[in-house]
A and B are shown apart, each in its own frame.
Chain A
Amino acid sequence: MHGRRRQALKEPSVDEKEQSRQRVEKYCALNNSVMSLRANNVFTASALDQTKRLLELNTELHTVWNYRRQVFEHMDLWQDTEERQRMLEAELGFLFEIIMKNVKSYWMWNHRVWTLNSMPRADWKKELGLVAKLLALDARNFHGWDYRRFIVSNLKKASEGSSGSSGGEFAYTTEQINRDCANHSAWHNRSKLLPAVLEKASSAEAQKSLLRTETDMILNAIYTDPDDQNAWLYHEWLVSIQPSDEDRCHLLRDKVAAIRELLDLEDEKDEASNKRPLIELVDALAALDRLEAVTDTEKNECLETLRRLKSIDSYHVGRYSDMIQSLAQRWDLGSEHTSTMISQ
């Protein structure tokens, strides 16, 4: 989970070591038992019980999860719809109990997805409530977000033609972003939903207005924390989904103006904090250059910025030198100019 402090480990006492040894012994015995059952293709209720106990101890045994699914599918009761429903509801209960132990287990989430897909009647609304609770606890758990997308798509399928589901999800991302504008998962989900929201817009004007809202929102994030790469990334994506080149240039010019305003605010002594805005400035000018003419002053500003970056960010000196070379070549600024730039 995010935001938890790492705790220093203490040397365990003799008692603790003995307890630990006993636990490991029990675990190994159970593990061996389950593996041998599996090797012998045993698909009984006893197998279900043993796999359950083993998975409670360790959620990461993907082989055992696989085996458990096989056991289910081989049981006679599986064929009866009502029995299957009952068994899988109980399975959901079991998963809910262990979910809190390790919220980030890929195998466990996978198993939950399988359970819901196999159920004759899955309660998607209840699942949505559950994942909302989980995300309230840890808003940046991408398992949670992935799972949420899975549920939402099933909800949509279940209620064919009912509109507004993506609207509700979109509003949910707004809520999460307002709570923490550094929640990359929320922004990512938003980028998945925005195209659908735009499509549903009633007119070109409405679309433009929606895009403008998005731009305003991401600029808010950029100004609140210019170091957050995620915000710049989303802005770049917004540039790419603009309907026309003209719109793209407009957005890029706004980006350049914003960066200049942000740089103005910084003082000379604290160059290191300027790194991200400076890189974005270079990217923006280069991108503009590919779309429309940029002035010679701007070209020089771009190269000058790269020079500044070389002294701020020594790890990436090679990259910046490379960019200087290729841009200078593209802009045909002469080889002496290029060599002076690189040697500094």
Chain B
Amino acid sequence: MSQNALDSEEFDAVVLGTGLIESIVASELAAADKKVLHIDRNPYYGGSFACFTLSAFIEWAVQHRDQRQTPSVDIFVGSGSIDTESPTFVVDHTSKLGDANNATSDAAERLVERLSPYLADAQQPSERISVTEQLAKLLSNDRKYAIELAPKVAYCRGKLVDLVINTGIGDHVQFKGVEHNYIARDDDAIERVPDSKGDIFASDSLSLIEKRKLMKLMTSIDDDKLTEECADDMSFAQFLETRFKLSGKLLDSVLYAVARVEKRDELSARAGCARVQKYVRSIGRYGRMAYLCAMYGGGSEIAQSFCRLCAVSGGTYILSERVGSVEKRDDDTGYAVQLSHGRVFAKHVVLDPSYLPDSEPTDCAVSRAVCILDNPVLGDDTTAILSYVVDVGVVSVLYTTQATLAAPSGQSVVYLWTSGRLSDTRALLLSALNKVCGSLARPLFTALFETRDMKPVQDALPGLCYTAAPDSTLDFDSAVDRALEIVADIA
């Protein structure tokens, strides 16, 4: 497409960013016969849900990430650095430009060159060779990694799965079941959360009376009338304690691993019942599990499928497109968006807030860790989730292997995340990582970063539809909710 080819073209909607929310919106609008222009500033789809090979992930850290949203990425190569909690590389805006680039065709060398300006002060020059060697080893399997920026899974009977079925995308995306749900509390061993009658019967970790209580909970949760017993001001934790007499480990398992609260009393009784009901009803739809995990990286694959659908319905796509200003049109018929391909007009603009030049980060953040382990520590060829519950907070963990084509055989890729700024949660994340590794696995490569929610500055344009950065929930439904909200506003 030649430069300025789009100049002065009119659209019903311009969507900025190809994250999951934006892609669902674009696809739904196109299906409703709207003329859609869908833009991404990156050379790849997925936005903040994007999925990368290892080398592409490092490229994202160095080049493509939004500095305001993700100020820095700490990279640990090998397990020694994790133990001392001193990163090998700190990728932020304060890089010291190194020596002139020695042209090299070796992929590992090139990558290390890209990273070398960010070598942490504490690193000795002699360690550089070892780091290069370790990176080279990892990069020999580069294409076998599918590293997600914002990993999530889907409830088998949740909104994303229903949307995927209704739009026909289900034909193009493959899923595997999340086979196990674990909980790890304080210094206790990691335990499986039983999720079926057979599981409960055979469980070693529940007492007899606990089994009865859990069975009663699972059978009565399906009854919609149960919520009538929830007092308005009761938290779900209180409800479980009084109505089902749960306590201790069992209470924690239901609260954290099933209802997925982050703080003990944050969830109302009614909302808690709805969540557990969703979980229990999801089991059995596709097998003995409540969640599905997409192959090749969930959010990204699904977002791309929605983009494909939008294109088939007439949407126009441009990647690697720089977005300048977004302004209101003088005659109040919408907006003008400045692109390098020209200035386009749109009745509606839907955007990831980081696309506005003058948006700023809020205090709301999700801290994340991505870790490549040298061992499929929770089982080879399986996918699992784990809740790490300690006094100071709760960490969600998603464990992936070659089962979802996320890692080469013999390794695993583990994601850990929790709400909060990285400066506050760093120790918690590393402690959770230690728990997962136990004595069986060592990290080969770890990245720590945070993603902050962005918001437009005070006097920004009214009427723009903002999507949001991926939140700390485990599943996609909050993203689907937001997308459908936007679609309802526009269409």
In the complex, the number of residue pairs spanning A and B with C-beta atoms less than 8 Å apart equals 39
B197 pairs with A181, CB closer than 8 A: yes
Q: How large is the interface on A (under 10, 10 to 19, 20 to 34, 35 or more residues)?
A: 10 to 19
Closest to A177 in B: B201
Closest to B211 in A: A223
Closest to B200 in A: A224
Contact with A along B184-222 (1 / 0, CB 8 A): 000000000000011011100000110111011000000
Residues of A within 8 A of B208 (CB): 219-220, 223, 258, 261
B212 pairs with A178, CB closer than 8 A: no
CB distance from B210 to the nearest CB of A (A): 9
Closest to B207 in A: A223
Contact with A along B76-101 (1 / 0, CB 8 A): 00000000000000000000000000
Residues of B within 8 A of A225 (CB): 197, 215
- Bound form: Cα–Cα A332–B202 in Å: 45
Q: A224-B215, A225-B215, A265-B245 are in contact. Are A178 and B201 (CB under 8 A)?
A: yes
Residues of A within 8 A of B245 (CB): 265
Residues of A within 8 A of B200 (CB): 224
Closest to B244 in A: A265
8 Å CB interface, B283-332 against A: none
Q: How large is the interface on B (under 10, 10 to 19, 20 to 34, 35 or more residues)?
A: 10 to 19
Contact with B along A205-224 (1 / 0, CB 8 A): 00000000000000111011
Contact with B along A2-39 (1 / 0, CB 8 A): 00000000000000000000000000000000000000
Residues of A within 8 A of B211 (CB): 220, 223-224
Q: A178-B202, A265-B245 are in contact. Are A224 and B209 (CB under 8 A)?
A: no
- Bound form: Cα–Cα A226–B197 in Å: 13
Q: Chain B binding site: helix, strand, loop or mixed by DSSP?
A: helix
A224 pairs with B201, CB closer than 8 A: yes
Q: Identify which of A177, A223, A226 gathers the most chain B CB atoms within 10 Å of its CB.
A: A223
B212 pairs with A226, CB closer than 8 A: yes
- Bound form: Cα–Cα A69–B61 in Å: 78
Residues of A within 8 A of B209 (CB): 223, 261, 265
- Bound form: Cα–Cα A258–B211 in Å: 13
B198 pairs with A181, CB closer than 8 A: yes
Contact with B along A229-270 (1 / 0, CB 8 A): 000000000000000000000000000001001100100000
A180 pairs with B198, CB closer than 8 A: yes
Closest to A273 in B: B216
8 Å CB contact of A179 from B198, B212, B213, B215: B198
CB distance from A175 to the nearest CB of B (A): 10
B201 pairs with A265, CB closer than 8 A: no
- Bound form: Cα–Cα A225–B216 in Å: 9
- Bound form: Cα–Cα A220–B200 in Å: 9
- Bound form: Cα–Cα A221–B208 in Å: 9
- Bound form: Cα–Cα A284–B211 in Å: 23
Residues of B within 8 A of A219 (CB): 208
Residues of B within 8 A of A265 (CB): 209, 212-213, 216, 245
- Bound form: Cα–Cα A261–B212 in Å: 10
8 Å CB interface, A145-196 against B: 177-182
Closest to A267 in B: B243
- Bound form: Cα–Cα A226–B201 in Å: 12
- Bound form: Cα–Cα A219–B245 in Å: 20
Residues of A within 8 A of B213 (CB): 265
A220 pairs with B201, CB closer than 8 A: yes
Closest to A221 in B: B201
Residues of B within 8 A of A180 (CB): 197-198
- Bound form: Cα–Cα A177–B245 in Å: 28
Write the residues of chain A forming the contact surface with B, with a CB cutoff of 8 angstroms: 177-182, 219-221, 223-226, 258, 261-262, 265
8 tightest A-B CB contacts, nearest first = A223-B208, A181-B201, A178-B202, A223-B212, A224-B201, A223-B211, A224-B211, A179-B198
14 sample A-B contacts, Cβ–Cβ < 8 Å, listed by A number: A177-B201, A178-B198, A178-B202, A180-B197, A181-B197, A219-B208, A220-B201, A223-B211, A224-B212, A225-B215, A261-B208, A261-B209, A265-B212, A265-B245
- Given A178-B201, A262-B212, A265-B212: 11 more A-B contacts, CB < 8 Å: A177-B201, A178-B198, A180-B197, A181-B201, A219-B208, A220-B211, A223-B211, A224-B212, A226-B212, A261-B209, A265-B209
